Structure 1
Amino acid sequence: MRAPVYLVRHGQSEWNVLRLTQGQTTHPALTALGREQAAAAAEAIARDLVSGTPVRVVTSDLVRAVETARIIGDRLGLVPELDARLREQHLGDLEGRSYEDSWHEAELHDWSDPELPVAGGESVAQVRRRLVALLAELDPDAATVVVSHGDSIRSVLAHLLGHSMTEVPWVDVPNGSVARYDGVVGWLEHRHPAEVER
């Protein structure tokens, strides 16, 4: 059995709150809630790790992911490694536009062609290829925490579950969520402090 890979979506960002499409926009930072979500993810991973297993943290180089990875790294005593292949899908002209505008444009996109770039950005196939290449390089004997983004994590999960690029079921990947893969895909149960108080 391989050591687990933890797929972590960054915590809530300033642009998540503003409902602006981020894609590969570099600068949106975490909110206070986003930092809480990252800390909760870190605790869940720390509880799940088997003592003595070597661990590394690899992250997208976009600010919201780097900030999340640093919180996780601090909890685990590790310095995150940056890898641009973990970035969100480049969404071209949609970046900086409202969610509603982006969803409208997405309805006009031909999703049957995985090689067709989205709004002048990246295609679904390009995203999957760069992420699968990174996965192939991971040491199966070391646990790896991978900090990335919603669409990128959906792409990885689709690959791991054997879905084609044109038949990918929607998977909800909330901010701060942690998917765990060790040959099968599961999700770590955790709640951030604001949810515990409710």
Structure 2
Amino acid sequence: MAIDIQTAPSPWRNRYLLMRHGHSQANAAGLIISSPERGIENFGLSEYGEQQLAQRMTDWQWPAPTRVVHSDFLRTTQTAARVAAAFGLVPSVDMRLRERYFGELEGQGDDGYPRIWAFDAQNAEHQYHQVEAVSAVATRMRAAIDDWEQRVSGETIVLVSHGDPLQILLTALAGKPLSQHREQAALLPASITLIGP
């Protein structure tokens, strides 16, 4: 999937491959794992996720990356390691790419997501149930890209993150209201979205 971002303030200096981590143990268990305390050392890739990534590397159809940057959660770290190894790269961590924090829903069933998304659709600033505001996620995700835009040019950078943060980022880059982030096409595990030139 490629997306043309019309609202970029200037021509992109780099290409970005926005990658959601492979299917995880949290996905398999139907759990919301959004806190560093749980997510950094636990809930890595599921067996199915490992298979997804092996297939993704075999069928790679995007530009070859020159950098791989990832959230420090185990599922994104493992995903980034597979991609980096396939291209002879050393991955690096950027905590701004972390999962959106779901506050009081942490560790509960993933059937709680729609309730938060309904609040999101009304107000991108809300923090009901101590959830991280959509606007805060957009700010940190955009800052991660802006930093690379200022530091390097002509690179292809894989950013390995999580479903909600990536959908929020794509909504922000498209210049749409952040409250509409769930109207963005769902990003499946191990999916890749190309942005930039």
> How would you bin the TM-score normalised by the shorter chain?
0.7 to 0.9
Q: Name whichever of 32-41 and 8-17 sits farther off.
A: 32-41
Q: What corresponds to 2:142 in structure 1?
A: 132
Instruction: Note if 1:80 corresponds to 2:91.
Output: yes
Q: What corresponds to 1:109 in structure 2?
A: 119
In the TM superposition, what are the counterparts of 1:5-16 in structure 2 within 5 Å? 5-16=16-27
CA 1:102–1:160 in structure 2 vs 1: closer, same or farther (change >3 Å)?
closer
Q: 2:103 aligns with which of 77, 92, 95?
A: 92
Do 2:171 and 2:184's aligned partners in 1 also have CA atoms closer than 8 Å?
A: no
Q: CA deviation at 1:172?
A: 1.0
SS for the counterpart of 2:122 is: coil
Q: Which amino acid aligns with 1:81?
A: S
Q: What corresponds to 1:174 in structure 2?
A: 188
Do 1:43 and 1:75's aligned partners in 2 also have CA atoms closer than 8 Å?
A: no
Q: 1:39 aligns with which of 36, 39, 54?
A: 54
Q: What corresponds to 1:193 in structure 2?
A: none
CA 1:162–1:110 in structure 2 vs 1: closer, same or farther (change >3 Å)?
closer
Structure 1 CA distance for aligned equivalents of residues 82 and 111 of structure 2: 31
Do 2:120 and 2:134's aligned partners in 1 also have CA atoms closer than 8 Å?
A: no
Do 1:8 and 1:41's aligned partners in 2 also have CA atoms closer than 8 Å?
A: no
SS for the counterpart of 1:133 is: helix
SS for the counterpart of 1:122 is: coil
Structure 2 CA distance for aligned equivalents of residues 90 and 147 of structure 1: 17
Q: 5+ residue gaps in structure 2? A: 1-11
Q: Which amino acid aligns with 2:131?
A: G
CA 1:144–1:43 in structure 2 vs 1: closer, same or farther (change >3 Å)?
farther
Alignment size in residue pairs: 178
CA 1:5–1:107 in structure 2 vs 1: closer, same or farther (change >3 Å)?
closer
Q: 2:159 aligns with which of 142, 146, 152?
A: 146
Do 1:9 and 1:174's aligned partners in 2 also have CA atoms closer than 8 Å?
A: yes
Q: CA deviation at 1:36?
A: 1.8
SS for the counterpart of 1:89 is: coil
Q: CA RMSD in A?
A: 2.0
Q: CA deviation at 1:72?
A: 0.5
Do 1:21 and 1:99's aligned partners in 2 also have CA atoms closer than 8 Å?
A: yes
Question: Could you say which structure has the higher helix fraction?
Answer: 2
Structure 1 vs Structure 2: percent identity of aligned residues?
29
Q: What corresponds to 1:57 in structure 2?
A: 68
CA 1:41–1:140 in structure 2 vs 1: closer, same or farther (change >3 Å)?
farther
CA 1:108–1:3 in structure 2 vs 1: closer, same or farther (change >3 Å)?
closer
Q: What corresponds to 1:71 in structure 2?
A: 82
Q: CA deviation at 1:42?
A: 3.4
Q: TM-score, normalised by structure 2?
A: 0.82
Structure 1 CA distance for aligned equivalents of residues 162 and 117 of structure 2: 21
CA 1:140–1:119 in structure 2 vs 1: closer, same or farther (change >3 Å)?
farther
Q: 5+ residue gaps in structure 1? A: 184-198
Do 2:20 and 2:163's aligned partners in 1 also have CA atoms closer than 8 Å?
A: yes
SS for the counterpart of 1:119 is: helix
Q: CA deviation at 1:164?
A: 1.5
SS for the counterpart of 1:175 is: coil
